[in-house]
A and B are shown apart, each in its own frame.
Chain A
């Protein structure tokens, strides 16, 4: 919240991301910060329960998706996988048009992430290191807009989309989310500490123009934070719901989230197919979490200290 984080919070931030690669041992045993007490049995037990609760609904999604509707209408509910997984995945894939929905979501989330990272880095750099008029007022404006909920703009956005005949086209959900105030603020806070002003000055003395400074100095320094912001934005954009469900339809060019809402709406909704669809829509991000889990965790913790 505060623009200037307190010193205690500030100091842990660059340590995770800005330390040179050579020194980057896993969580250095630094003397100044954190506690290094060993966890006892109770700690492990409670964290085990937390892990179970966190993962169980996802595992059960897969279990339900591997059964059929009749089995799901019996007690006790199934606790292990059945044999219908691929059949249900196939039905969900065709019914909800999952193939194109996944592709649409990939295009939307990809474009939004690239745009957000690029524009946030540009603006964040300007706010962190350059001098220009109205800088503080403009920065205050950026921070102010972080509070504005998306609900406040849906009615005019809907009118705009109707007027431009963009309804059911992907640019209708891409363009309004292409920049975020959070991204600008995040990059500013990072570059403020991670980019030494002397380097920019040195590049300037060597006669580098702004674009060269950007390319050879700012982007390399900002890369860790850009990666973090890109991942966070991708997850958020992938899961975005409120505006896509207004701008897109299930039969046009839906994102995964929109496609999911139309799934299994027959006379008797087939729950196992619905679960298969939910699984299909979640799986890409889950795989990404397994692969990049450490970086994503680090990124969120990094963003927390910045926020």
Chain B
């Protein structure tokens, strides 16, 4: 930060010839001819204006962000906490009745909340772990010198351009019980038709596969970017030591990617906790229940059901804060892991 330009430097250059004391002592001298006085005053005004500009423009530059953030980020965040202590109905959102922590204590006894929490975790693991492992493998392959490498990269990224809605609608058809492509394919291999949507594990697997499909390529490119900044002499010396390609991957690539991997784990975990569109639309026209037995209802979906199907905005707010607390815990854990990794690096 030492390289930031100093606020005073330019003005002293500008004023240097006429008024060395830079705007403070200019007016104190004896009266001179009017033209010169006016010029001095103009210069003084200009330098005062200049200093104000330097002092206040940073705030003007950050103001739009913070104004919007305060109005649509911070205020809603706090107000959600406030609303979670009230009984509020969607039909009359401004009628709030104070009920203390009852929305939270109610959540603790709410089987649907625990179900949604469990589903969120299961789907989160089913989607995040294969996604990141495959992304790592694909990035490794994309890192070779390839003919048409840009084609492979763009192709891997196309699912990212597909919206949740479009992707889920297609996957609902692919996972169809009677005429779906996937069951047809499995039947060729001699499997019975699977009722993906109504099974508990199968539906969670199907929902996860949509997430995996959409995000694997994106993560692969992030890993690829990190791989390309690994100095090649690390590989050369590993090769000299007789390390195979696989050993190079294990002992050179993976350790260098550690910060990036942690970053993608955190980002995908945040995404997994918020999962909403995929399970909503995977239910076809069935609404926010997450399947007939709530078998793939996530926390995000349960929040939506409580607020916008059952009209309990207060309870929805409590679920939102529960999700927030969960994220904070995850954030703290990842911070601890980072610290631990750094310490490991220091020792090595």
Contacts and interface: CB of A to CB of B under 8 A. Distances in A.
Interface of A: 1-2, 5-6, 8-9, 11-12, 31-40, 43-44, 46-47, 50-51, 53-55, 57-58, 60-61, 64, 72-77, 118-120, 122-123, 125-127, 129-132, 135, 138, 142, 145, 147-160, 162-163, 175-179, 181, 184, 197, 200-201, 204-205, 207, 209-210, 214, 235, 238-239, 241-242, 246, 256-257, 260-261, 265, 269, 271, 274-275, 277-279, 281-282, 285-286, 288-290, 293-294, 296-297, 300-302, 304-305, 307
A129 to B, nearest CB: 6
B145 interface: yes
B144 A12 contact: no
A218 to B, nearest CB: 9
How many interface residues does chain B have, given as a range?
Answer: 35 or more
A82 to B, nearest CB: 15
Contacts of A260: 163, 165-166, 169
B331 interface: yes
Contacts of A235: 160-161
Interface in B8-53: 9-10, 13-14, 50, 53
A202 to B, nearest CB: 9
B83 A301 contact: no
Given A33-B232, A76-B184, A242 B320 contact: no
A34 B93 contact: no
Given A51-B152, A55-B158, A289-B157, A33 B228 contact: yes
11 contacts: A9-B260, A34-B229, A54-B213, A57-B170, A129-B5, A155-B76, A157-B72, A260-B165, A285-B162, A296-B157, A307-B267
A55 B155 contact: yes
A173 to B, nearest CB: 11
Contacts of B83: 155-156, 159
B281 to A, nearest CB: 7
A163 to B, nearest CB: 7
Task: Give chain B's interface secondary structure class.
Answer: helix
A282 B163 contact: yes
B341 to A, nearest CB: 11
A76 B188 CA distance: 10
A44 B24 CA distance: 73
Given A31-B232, A53-B213, A61 B170 contact: yes
Interface in B53-88: 53-55, 57-62, 64-66, 68-69, 71-77, 79-80, 83, 88
A57 B263 CA distance: 29
Interface stretch (B124-132, B200-208, B214-222): B214-222
